[in-house]
Each structure stands twice: as C-alpha cells, then as structure tokens.
C-alpha cells in the first residue's frame, strides 16, 4: 500500500481515481483491475475502512455474511452469520491486500473538476496535488459528516451532548440518565447497549415512529426478503409488509411506538431503512427503554420535548444521522439533488459529467454491501466500454 501520491500517468493513458477507501471504493478498485484498468484509491486517513473503525463497539452487520462479501473474496465462515465491526475492518484490510489494490493514504481530495483538455477529470488534493484521471469514482460514504440539528438553545445548553459518531460503548454512562435522540438503527442499538451496559435510565426520543423488523425469523434473514422485493412496485411492497409486521412485531403503541402510517418501502425510498431488532422490542416492552417525544430545543440544562415535557438527562446522545458533504467536492458540477445526494448512483453518470461515477449513496432494502458489490462490477464495465476514456491499462 502506497503512502504518497502516485506518479502521474501519461496524458494519453490515465488511471481511474477512486475517492474513498471504504467498502465501496475498494470494491470498485478491484472490479476495475479485473477489467485490466489501473485504479488508484485515494484515502484521506492512514488506513482503509476508516469509517468502520469509528463505529460503536457492539455493531454488527445487519446483513448476512454470505450476502455482504465484496467481489472476488468471500468473508470467512469464522466471522459468523452477523459480522462484527472488528471483523468488517479485518476483511477490508485483507481485501486490499489480497487484490493488491493501489491505495494512496493520507490524501484528501477537496475538489473535482473537468480537466483543461476536456478528456478527463482533474482532482485537487492534499499538499497542492493535481491529479488527472480518465474517470473518477466518488465513494466517500453515505455516513460522512456527523449531523446535529440546529435545535433552538443548543449553543447555550449546559448539559453534555455527544453525537452517536463519538459513542463507543456504555462504560462511561453506567448509572447515568441518558437520552438517545433518533430512532434509526443506530439510536435503537445504542439505547439497547446502554441498558445492557448498566445505564441508570435510558430514554429514546422519537419524532417519527420507525418500521421495526426482525433481523431473522426461523433462520430467514430480513435481508432475503429485501432482495426478493427490491424491484417490486413500492405500493405493492408496502401492502405486503403490513400484515407481516403485525404477525412478527408486537404493537408497541402503548409504549410510545405506534405502527407507522407510511408504508415500509415508501420509507426506504425516502432514505429511512427499517430498524432491525437487536433487543429494542423487549427493552421497550419491559420499560427499560422509555420512548419520549421528539426534541424541540434546549434551555439551560433542560431538554424541551414536543409534548411540552422538560427533562434533565445527564447526557444526550444525538443519533441524528450524517451529511454526505459532497457540496465542496462536486457541488459546482450540478450533479447533486436538493438533499445533497448524487442525481445518479452506480454505473450511470450525470448527463453533463461523463466519466464521473458515484457509489454508495443510496439506502437499499437489500443490503448496502450487496449493492456496493453489484454496482462496483457495473461501474467497471461501464468504464471499460467507454471508448472516449483513455484509461491506463495494467500490464498483462
């Protein structure tokens, strides 16, 4: 693995630059190599899988080991069915080594623009580097920059508030009163972790009740169903999901978690993946996780809830999501939508940006790693078929 910028390729034969050394970027780099194309991964940290290294300790993939492998290398059986965070990191390290990927660490790309000759892309990177590629794949990740809402009174809040990105385990919160804000998978799992780790009181602030699904039922993983229905009409999947939810998940309305009004697949298409149950249902039913109203603001050491309640937790953990932070990188190219997401993902390029690809900016019902693997192969084939790209070829 290289630790400095790669030497520039001849102007008539340029590499494909992949921005980001996470699972999406590594998968694309291997798929390009399999097509005989030189791919250079640019990673701003000093190691691959940087975002995975920062996740909380108890995190496991919610997708199965067999359906989470990237192209060209299976995940070891010893990792078990639900792969842990640490094993995901080990796998990504092994993946880069096994495929002999060309990875440049410690290089952050700040801006991508068309090359002066109009035949490729110019990347502005750390240390004043200017790198010209035949094509560029942006794979910096869906969960890039921790996002905290601009709540009224937040700047003067006297209590402790941390983002979920900084949460590792429950040890610092033993015996404490903790409010977790956000009922996505991260918030739900942190709440359960706090309960199991000995927090004195755990409350979960919910603005929109999530869909909750069993991770596995009688050996049938929820991911399998996601794969089967991913191409069905949204309305049909919504209708099919309702009776299944009633059969598999108890009604938690009396505990503050009513069944959602919006259909499950409709929510997915809006970017909200169902919460996979890893203990939340039992914790809520037993009163170990108390569901409270949404946070409306802060005042001194108090948290103001939407139902008028004021509470004074010892710590607030904001599981409020992430921003993609692509605006500075590619926002000037008119390739982002109003939410800051790429207008296309996978093997398609934006209409006015041929040779510019994005991977990993969707929330698929069928599993992120699985879709990253599929998209990687498609992107590589698209680059290989593009006769206008003077790509650098690997020696045979």
Closest by CA position to 138, among listed 264, 259, 261, 25 = 25
And the tokens for 33? 């190599």
Could you count the other beta carbons within 10 Å of the beta carbon of residue 97?
Answer: 13
SS3 at position 240: helix
Q: What is the pLDDT of residue 396?
A: 64
Q: What is the pLDDT of residue 392?
A: 87
Distance from the Cα of residue 146 to its chain's centroid: 11
Q: DSSP string covering 106-153, please?
A: S--EEEEEE-TTSSSEEEEEGGGEEEEESEEEE---SS-EE-----TT
CATH number for the segment(s) 147-318: 3.50.50.60
Q: What is the pLDDT of residue 124?
A: 98
Residue with tokens 């940087």: 50
Angstrom distances, CA of residue 59 to CA of 53, 63, 115, 148, 385 = 11, 12, 41, 21, 39
Taking the chain (396 residues) in runs of 10, the rounded mean pLDDT of each run is 48 87 98 97 96 95 97 98 98 98 97 93 95 97 92 96 97 98 97 98 97 94 96 96 94 96 94 94 98 97 97 98 95 96 96 96 94 97 87 83
pLDDT in tens, 49-106: 999 999 999 999 999 999 999 999 999 999 999 999 999 999 999 999 999 999 999 9
C-alpha torsion 1→89→134→9, nearest 10: 0
Q: DSSP string covering 150-211, please?
A: --TTGGG--SEEEEGGG---SGGGBT-EEEEE--SHHHHHHHHHHHHTTBSEEEEE-SSPPP
Burial class of residue 131 (count of CB atoms within 10 Å of its CB; 0-12, 13-18, 19+): buried
The C-alpha atoms of residue 312 and residue 300 are separated, in whole angstroms, by 10
Residue 27: its H or E element: helix 23-34
Cβ distance 69 to 75 under 8 Å?
yes
C-alpha torsion 234→237→239→244, nearest 10: -150
Could you count the other beta carbons within 10 Å of the beta carbon of residue 232?
Answer: 12
First to last CA, the chain: 21
Question: Which residues does 134 contact at the CB level (< 8 Å), separation at least 6?
Answer: 13, 14, 15, 16, 119, 120, 121, 355, 383, 389, 390, 391, 392
Start-end ranges of CATH 3.50.50.60 in the chain?
A: 16-144+324-385, 147-318
Q: What is the pLDDT of residue 10?
A: 43
Distance from the Cα of residue 312 to its chain's centroid: 31
And the tokens for 353? 């940006």
CATH number for the segment(s) 16-144+324-385: 3.50.50.60
Could you count the other beta carbons within 10 Å of the beta carbon of residue 171?
Answer: 9
């Amino acid at each position: 693995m290289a630790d400095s910028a790669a030497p520039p390729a001849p102007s008539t034969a340029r590499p494909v630059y992949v921005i980001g050394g996470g699972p999406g970027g590594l998968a694309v780099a291997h798929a390009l190599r399999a097509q005989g194309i030189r791919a250079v991964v640019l990673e701003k940290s000093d190691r691959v899988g940087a975002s995975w290294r920062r996740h909380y300790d108890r995190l496991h993939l919610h997708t199965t080991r067999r359906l989470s492998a990237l192209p060209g290398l299976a995940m070891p059986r010893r990792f078990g069915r639900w792969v842990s965070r640490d094993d995901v990191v080990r796998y990504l390290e092994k993946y880069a080594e096994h495929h002999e990927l060309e990875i440049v660490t410690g290089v952050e790309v700040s801006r991508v623009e068309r090359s002066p000759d109009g035949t490729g892309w110019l990347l502005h990177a750390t240390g004043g580097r200017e790198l010209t590629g035949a094509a560029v794949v942006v794979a910096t990740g869906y969960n890039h920059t921790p996002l905290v809402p601009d709540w009224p009174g937040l700047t003067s809040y006297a209590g402790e508030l941390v983002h979920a990105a900084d949460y590792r385990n429950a040890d610092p919160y033993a015996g404490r009163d903790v409010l977790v804000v956000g009922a996505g998978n991260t918030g739900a799992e942190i709440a359960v972790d706090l309960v199991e780790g000995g927090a004195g009181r755990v409350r979960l602030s919910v603005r929109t009740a999530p869909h909750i699904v069993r991770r596995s039922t009688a050996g049938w993983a929820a991911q399998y169903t996601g794969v089967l229905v991913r191409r069905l009409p949204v309305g049909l999947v919504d209708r099919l999901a309702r009776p299944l939810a009633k059969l598999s998940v108890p009604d938690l309305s009396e505990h503050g978690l009513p069944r959602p009004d919006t259909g499950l697949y409709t929510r997915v298409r809006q970017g909200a993946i169902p919460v996979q149950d890893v203990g939340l249902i039992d914790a809520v039913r037993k009163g170990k996780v108390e569901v409270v109203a949404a946070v409306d603001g802060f005042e001194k050491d108090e948290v103001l809830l939407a139902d008028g309640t004021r509470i004074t937790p010892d710590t607030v953990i904001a599981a409020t999501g992430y921003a993609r932070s692509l605006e500075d990188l590619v926002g000037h190219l008119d390739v982002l939508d109003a939410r800051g997401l790429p207008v296309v993902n996978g093997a398609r390029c934006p209409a006015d940006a041929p040779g510019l690809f994005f991977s990993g900016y969707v929330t698929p019902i069928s599993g992120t790693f699985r879709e990253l693997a599929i998209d990687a192969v498609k992107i590589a084939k698209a680059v290989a078929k593009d006769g206008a790209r003077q790509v650098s070829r690997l020696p045979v």
